[in-house]
Amino acid sequence: MDSSAIRSSLPYFVGLAVAALLYFLVRQIEYAERPGMLGPDFWPTAAILLMATVCVFEILRAFAGMRSQAQGIAEVLETDDSAPPALTYPRTLVGGIVLVVVYAVVVDVIGFLLSTFLFLVAFMYLGRYRNHAVIWIFSTGAILLSALIFMRFAYVSLPRGWPPFDAVTDFVRIMLGG
Amino acid sequence: MADILLHLANGFVDCLTPLNLAMLFIGIVLGLLIGVLPGLTLVMGVALALPFTYRLGVTPSIVLLTAIYVSGTYGGAFTAILFRIPGEPIDVPMLWDGYTMARKGKPAKALGWTLVAALGGGLLAAVIMVVLTHPLARFALRFSSPEYFAVLLFGLTSVVALGRGSLGNALISLAAGMLIATVGTDETYGAYRFTFGSRVLADGIEFLVVMVGVYGIGEVLARLEKGFTGRPIERVANARTELPTLREISAIKSMFLRSSLLGTVIGLIPGAGATIASFVSYGLEAQFGKRKKEMGTGVAEGIVAPQAAATASVGGALVPLLALGIPGSGATAVILGAFMLHGIQPGPQVLATSSAIVYAVFASLFLGLALMCLLGYFAIQPLVKILDFPEAAVSAYVMMLCFVGALSIRNNIVDLWLMIGFGVIGYLFEKFKFPVAPLVLGVILGPLAEGAFMNSMISFGNDWTIFFTRPIAGTIMVFTFAMLMLPFVQQWRARRVAAA
């Protein structure tokens, strides 16, 4: 079996699996049927069928060895040959995703200000930026500015954090005259 | 006409309040900065600004977002011309003549042509927008649910056909968006769909979470994978703008008009935004223009054609948004979202019920264009200086804005998790060349299309043929089919050219 066909059709197998799962879930929707009316499962079913049909078509196309695809007009227009192929850093990407997930876990506990400050510092180091002074000053400035905008003027309700971390939020708020 | 002018005059008065003017100024500056910075895209910028409009009234919110949208089509030209860095895909054609003109020792002149093109194209489109929106909305008042469904379907398919990526991938992306929009409580039956017993999900997934996730987090992750390595920047000692003379402008006036009109018309078509306008306009000039053989050698036509069309497309794109409630691009989808956040559904009724807001938006476009060009003329040095800012820091800040956006929607941590999930999905879509615009449009237009479809089925006894037998709906359906066929025609023509 052609390995390139398997590789190129992999996203569509995933799409097909997602469609199958969603179809199973759509069948579980509970509602009282009304005669002569389409149910609440009709629209999602139509979207699932669209997704599944296209996935099947793309899989067949990949295995039939048809390489050229109909492209959106912008795709045809936008080809910029001048851009050199870029190096990739998959570990950095994984690090970034982990950092974001950790942020979501701790933001409620240690509060928005502290968690975001730590996130900014860690993210810049992760992004291979090494000017330490800029990193720490920028992060501090960004947090103070955000606190000023969101807590003082826009009144956006952001997580304060649990004790003892909420003291940090309260301190910054008092410092900014809140 | 007198009526329209009177409304527009009132719109200018509304627009001149301190808050609206402040939003206009902030929006223009942000749009220019977003255009200049290669890591930030126009749609991402508009989407990131959306959460901050919660506390604002509807008019300042729309003024802010529209200002970002319009100036975002202009700012990227600076870096394309001076440093060969297109801030946006829109600016790629600017490399061919704009950068070449700069290399020939005339960067100031190239920037001057860009300014004149953005101003001229934008103003012409704004005039057309003002003139066209009212009649189109009046015409749309005759629409019933089948016509609305047909129009929405046309909007969705044209986004698929005219966007990036393969047609199949775009359709999958669209279906995914439509499915995301079905999460929550069904309006007709009150049935729970894909809620998994979660009370937050029973209220549905906010489109803002999806937009900020895929455009903000998704794009930052994609750039993080590339290690935030932009192209090295050449230093330009004295960036300034030199305006072309009236005689020079007069020499290309018909071409100027043609490009601006083309941009406006392309903007009117859902799915065909500033990027397509910019490329098509350049392409037409290169094929049929007076100086077609000189295109690419640093001529004014190669700068004016894409820039005038790109900025003109903004005015064009606002027409279907305001008159029909159909966003034609990612940026207008966000602006539609801002309207909806404030309880206003753009469409034919909006001119009757909230005409003051609509005309204030129109007026803000005129004022915004003037302000944009003033800033572009006088503040070019500090604007391009922003490129010295480390990309890692800019991206970190973008991430922070995304977090604030998610946390401010419902004050619920679930929205943050959802946004991170959509961010990863956005990254994967980018990685595997699935366009995200259809996904976002599917999320926004999906519920509207479902509502129009269900109403049609209820009103016409589940008769499917109604979409084809009613004259307006049938005509739009024909256009929808033609739009869907467009990529196949393009592919067939490419094959023929390759075979020849």
pLDDT exceeds 80 at position B231:
no
Could you tell me if A94 and A39 lie in one domain? no
- What is the pLDDT, as a whole number, of residue B417? 94
What number is the average pLDDT over the span B297-316?
Answer: 90
* Shared domain check, A101 and A53: no
Number of domains in chain A: 2
| Dihedral pair phi/psi, residue B191, rounded to 5° | -85, 145
pLDDT in tens, A24-74: 999 999 888 888 788 999 999 999 999 999 999 999 988 887 656 666 656
Amino acid identity for residue B260 in this structure = S
Q: Looking at the partner chain, which of A68, A92, A103 has a beta carbon nearest the beta carbon of B227? A: A92
Owning domain of residue A156? 90-175
pLDDT at B162: 64
Range scoring the smallest mean pLDDT among A76-85, B25-34, B89-98, B178-187: A76-85
* A58 falls within a domain: yes
Minimal Cα–Cα distance from A156 to chain B, Å? 6
What pLDDT score was predicted for residue A68? 61
Q: How far is CA B148 from CA B22, B140, B347, B459, in A?
A: 36, 9, 10, 13
Q: What is the pLDDT of residue B123?
A: 93
String of DSSP letters for B436-499: SHHHHHHHHHHHHHHHHHHHHHHHTTT-TTHHHHSHHHHHHHHHHHHHHHHHHHHHHHHHHHHH
Most confident of B32-41, B232-241, B373-382, B447-456: B447-456
Place of tokens 């066929």: B485
- From B193, B407, B488, residue closest to A29, measured CB to CB: B193
Q: Which of A68, A101, A120 is the last residue of a domain?
A: A68
* B65's tokens: 């977002």
Q: Are B44 and B330 in contact (CB under 8 A)?
A: no
Shortest Cα–Cα distance, B392 to chain A (Å): 5
Residues A43 and A97 occupy one common structural domain: no
- Dist CA B416 CA B396 (whole Å): 16
Range of the domain at B138: 2-499
Higher-pLDDT residue of A93 and B273 is A93
In the predicted model, is pLDDT for residue A78 greater than 60? no
Asked whether residue B117 carries a pLDDT value surpassing 90, the answer given is yes
Count of other CB atoms within 10 angstroms of residue A105: 12
Query: For residue B335, what pLDDT is reported?
Result: 86
How are beta strands B192-193 and B184-185 bridged, if at all? antiparallel
Of residues B176, B411, B487, nearest to A51 (C-beta): B176
Q: What number is the ipTM of this complex?
A: 0.89
Domain match, A61 and A120 both: no
B234/A94 Cα distance (integer angstroms) = 32
Q: Which residue does chain B place closest to A101, by CA atoms?
A: B420
DSSP B293: G
- Which of A13, A78, A87, A150 should be substituted to probe chain B, the one whose Cβ sees the most B Cβ atoms within 10 Å? A78
Number of domains within chain B: 1
CB contact under 8 A, B194 and A25: yes
pLDDT confidence bin for B166, thresholds 50/70/90: confident
DSSP letter string, A72-119: -HHHHHH--TTSPPPP--HHHHHHHHHHHHHHHHHHHHH-HHHHHHHH
CB atoms within 10 A of CB B357: 24
The end-to-end CA distance of chain A, in Å, is 67
Q: Which amino acid is at B474?
A: G
In B297-354, alpha helices (H): 301-324, 330-341, 350-353
pLDDT for res B383: 74
Mutation target to probe the A interface, by most A beta carbons within 10 A, among B96, B182, B208 is B182
Establish if A47 touches chain B: CB-CB under 8 angstroms: yes
pLDDT band at B48 (very low <50, low <70, confident <90, very high): confident
The confidence band for B192, taking pLDDT boundaries of 50, 70 and 90, is very high
User: Between chains, do A70 and B488 touch, taking CB under 8 Å as contact?
Assistant: yes
Q: Is residue A15 part of a domain?
A: yes
Report if residue A76 sits inside a domain. no
Half-sphere exposure of B382 (CA within 13 A, CB side): 5
Structure tokens at A93: 């990407």
Mutate which of A45, A58, A100 to test chain B, going by most B C-beta atoms within 10 A? A100
Question: Which band of pLDDT confidence, cut at 50, 70 and 90, is reported for residue A21?
Answer: very high
Domain contains A85: no
pLDDT-derived band at B292, boundaries 50, 70, 90: confident
What average pLDDT is seen over chain B? 85
**A47 contacts B446? CB cut-off 8 A:** yes
* pLDDT recorded at residue B142: 79
* Interface contacts A/B by beta carbons within 8 Å: 245
A77 within some domain? no
Q: Is A1 on the interface with B (CB under 8 A)?
A: no
